[in-house]
Structure 1
Amino acid sequence: MTPAGGLTRRTLLRAAAVGAAATAAGCGGGTRSIQVAVVWSGSELERFQKVVDAYRAPAPVRVVSAGNDIDAFLRARHLAGTSPDVAILSRPGLVTEYAAKGWLRPVRPSVEYAVPIGLGDLLMAKGQRYGLWVKAAHKSLIWHLPSMLPEPPTSWDELVSLTRRLGALARDGGPAPLAIGAADGWVLTDWFENVLADLAPTAYDALAASEGDWQGRAVRDALDRLAELWSIDGAFPGGGKRALLTQYEESVIQVVRSRRAVMVFEADFTAEVVGRFRGGTEEPVTFRFPSAGAGSGALIVGGDVAVAFDHDRGGLELVEWLTRADSFAPWLQAGGYLSPNTTIALTEYDDPVRRQLAREMRGPDTLHFDLSDQLPGAFTGSDGVGIWRIMQDFFADVTGGVPARRAIDDATAQLAAAARDAGSDR
């Protein structure tokens, strides 16, 4: 993600070139293509292309990958007058922001579309719906190999005790208890969000609505709980400084291939990394992020949403089609896909693990959408900016010997200041 206003010359040139190429392609073929800008790349991009290949329309669909900087990409395209017809965004905050600017058209789902309570409301502005969920992510999972961890912890206290025990063994040459890709700030915000939603769900929702107190007791308690775990000696391969240089994919490899660590926390999309880098034949398994109390704790979800820009009806019709129960069937069958659409039968998931994850997202648990993806402006985070950087600073402090209270004071002050700055920029 790129902060608002952070349009680099490279982004402008790339977006302009893509827009010019798409226009030329449309004119040359006699029929203007429907242009779709997406956040996906690699296998995800290939699978989405197979999805839209099944779309039957007079105009062909052309998919462009903008990557994680899709906000900057779309702003540049808007300035150049070459906005795509449709975009797939991972941040609901962008949907309401673009709608307020008048860039988007209201959208209507198919009759085969329904999502868990609360998710649809995130995409409303001025009483109208400006986006529709097309992909979901289950973000409350910890991955491990059964041979490395036969009995997973069932509570936060058990996780802390296990980390202390394995950390002591790691100092004698054993694997570290936890791998963590702290070089990617979003990994740390995902940790924070799971703990905060478990301890104080009402405060979590208030912060997401820009109505909470970033220096309040709920945030401080969540950070204190993280400090308790992250500060354990031997918790991470190579220590805290090495973890801050470790990217997300490498942290997964440390568990499923090199076995330098026992557990790694992250979403269901970790399965894609496992598939590429797993060593041997042993399949990793997951358990839910542990709660401070009884039960399975909070469930954090992320997702991707389709929006239509202010062009002709081609984009609106494609967005509606993407919400049909069978539209993403090619991706669902290929694997690596969770649907937010609750009208899709669970039996459509051939993979029993992914079927269980889909079931959990439809269960009685209260879902909480990824907090950092709901924050306004630069506060939402990107490399070296916003809540990502603040959480990296906090991680560096607590793994580097700074007393927890001082680290929490510094982090909450930074969070409150970033929230004020984001509010003044609105």
Structure 2
Amino acid sequence: MRATRLLGAVATAVLVAAACGGPDLAAARSGPLTGQTIEVLAVWSDEEQAAFERVLDVFEERTGATVTYVSGGDEVPTVLATRLAGGSPPDVAGVAQPALVRTLARAGSLVPLDPATEAAIDAGFAPVWKELGTVDGTLYGFVFKAANKSTIWYDVRQLGPGFVPPRTWDEFEETLRKLSDTGRTPLSVGGADGWTLTDWFENVYLQTAGGPMYDRLARHEIPWTDPSVRTALQTLARVFRPEHLPGGIDSALQTEFAESVVDVFGEDPRASIVFEADFVAGVIAESTSATVGVDARVFPFPRIGPASSVVSGGDTLVALTDEPGTQALVQFLASSEAASIWAAQGGFVSPNREVRLEQYPDDSTRQIAEELVGADNLRFDMSDLMPSALGATRGDGFWRAMQDHLADPAQIDRILAELEAEATAAYADGDS
């Protein structure tokens, strides 16, 4: 009971301070969590780490706690497994794969979120986001940093201020063809990172097959040899034409994600259009002289079906200890104020609908955030919903299959048969 009362007092103090602008630093350092250390493990590094640490600074100033952040990069699942095996988990972790959240919850490694945090999530997040953090009826986490993976970027300096973005898939194909006919190679694809190709597929599949079929494929309730998968891949192949890609197919397969962005917005551009989520903005800011919202602008993934569809990804924050400071921090991070601190710095989109659009630093990011929050048909990244052995392994599974398809779409039967065999084995292992 004492821990529960203290947690309530801490959470109230944090949220009241947020509403009032916060106490001064001297008072905060003698707050209710003075002397307590909270550790957070997540994927963010470099500029993203610095931005998140500014969010943590506000929590520290208002509670007196000390928050230590550890960047696990792409190895967060491995680091987390090692820490759990050693009996020293972090207090809070950011997990990109909902499948891993389910595995951790069912293993008893996660602590359910407290009622106050759940109430904040109910108020600020659409039900689909809450569902992603819920396992067997219990809420264990929420998506703090989301990604709108239904975004196409283009360089205004190359295409001109009068460029009219295509709205439909047919218009998109026509745009690429016209640019190609003028001797330009319009589309940069980071095929060396298989996840960029799975994101392409997921957007096309969601629009050609629809949300219910997307859900069934993600759960492997239909096979990868289903005709709906073939239709999506054939549709995708219509834009993955050698003449559309700088250096052709072979070059695209050797181009990593960050390089694909620089190939559009860098000093020596090789293309004028690139697909990927809002985190493209970070690469532009770090590696080019282009300005997001001015030189670098966006349009929604071209429609194939009647509804506006968005594929999203994101990092789900979960609690692994039941300390008062852990739950107080998680409740603070669930607030719109915490999200707004990072939003104002750029390179961030929140699914929290209480974050005001004017908090974002440029028109392109505001557009991306508005489309994410207002999507009629939103689904989470399919590869992150799969068992990690199938959906998140470099050079294998879903990633490799999409690379094989880019390399030779005529091999579609073999590719899908092999992927179906791998999926059958992965889901039989129970990692979902």
TM-score by length of 1: 0.85
Contact 1:40–1:67 (Cα < 8 Å) also in 2? yes
1:261 is paired with a residue whose SS is: coil
Structure 1 partner of 2:57: 53
Structure 2 partner of 1:21: none
Q: Which has the higher helix share?
A: 2
Residues 140-190 of structure 1 deviation map (CA, whole Å, 9 limit, x = unaligned): 1111112433232222122223323333444xxxx3111011011110001
For 1:107-256, list aligned pairs within 5 A. Answer: 107-108=113-114, 109=117, 111-113=119-121, 114-149=124-159, 150-170=163-183, 175-201=184-210, 202-230=212-240, 232-256=241-265
Contact 1:90–1:302 (Cα < 8 Å) also in 2? yes
TM-score by length of 2: 0.84
Structure 2 partner of 1:290: 302
1:340 is paired with a residue whose SS is: coil
In 2 relative to 1, CA 360–393 (structure 1 residues): closer, same or farther, beyond 3 Å?
same
Contact 2:42–2:73 (Cα < 8 Å) also in 1? yes
State the one-letter code of the partner of 2:66.
P
- Whether 2:93 is the aligned partner of 1:80: answer no
State the one-letter code of the partner of 1:304.
D
What is the percent sequence identity of the aligned residues? 39
Contact 1:51–1:329 (Cα < 8 Å) also in 2? no
**Alpha-carbon distance in structure 2 between the residues aligned to 1:280 and 1:251:** 14
State the one-letter code of the partner of 1:63.
Y
Deviation (angstroms), 1:31 = 4.3
**Alpha-carbon distance in structure 1 between the residues aligned to 2:318 and 2:369:** 23
Which stretches in structure 1 are left out of the alignment for 5+ residues?
A: 1-29
- Whether 2:401 is the aligned partner of 1:390: answer yes
State the one-letter code of the partner of 1:236.
L
Contact 1:208–1:371 (Cα < 8 Å) also in 2? yes
**Alpha-carbon distance in structure 2 between the residues aligned to 1:99 and 1:49:** 26
Contact 2:339–2:355 (Cα < 8 Å) also in 1? no
For 1:245-324, list aligned pairs within 5 A. Answer: 245-257=254-266, 258-279=268-289, 283-293=295-305, 297-324=308-335
In 2 relative to 1, CA 280–299 (structure 1 residues): closer, same or farther, beyond 3 Å?
closer
For 1:1-12, list aligned pairs within 5 A. Answer: none
State the one-letter code of the partner of 1:118.
V
Deviation (angstroms), 1:363 = 2.0
1:54 is paired with a residue whose SS is: helix
Contact 2:242–2:249 (Cα < 8 Å) also in 1? no
**Alpha-carbon distance in structure 1 between the residues aligned to 2:202 and 2:69:** 32
**Alpha-carbon distance in structure 1 between the residues aligned to 2:429 and 2:113:** 27
- Paired residues, number: 384
Deviation (angstroms), 1:338 = 1.0
Deviation (angstroms), 1:376 = 1.4
**Alpha-carbon distance in structure 2 between the residues aligned to 1:151 and 1:294:** 20
**Alpha-carbon distance in structure 2 between the residues aligned to 1:155 and 1:104:** 43
Contact 2:92–2:321 (Cα < 8 Å) also in 1? no
In 2 relative to 1, CA 414–94 (structure 1 residues): closer, same or farther, beyond 3 Å?
same
Contact 1:377–1:425 (Cα < 8 Å) also in 2? no
**Alpha-carbon distance in structure 2 between the residues aligned to 1:144 and 1:126:** 42
**Alpha-carbon distance in structure 1 between the residues aligned to 2:38 and 2:375:** 39
Contact 1:381–1:389 (Cα < 8 Å) also in 2? no
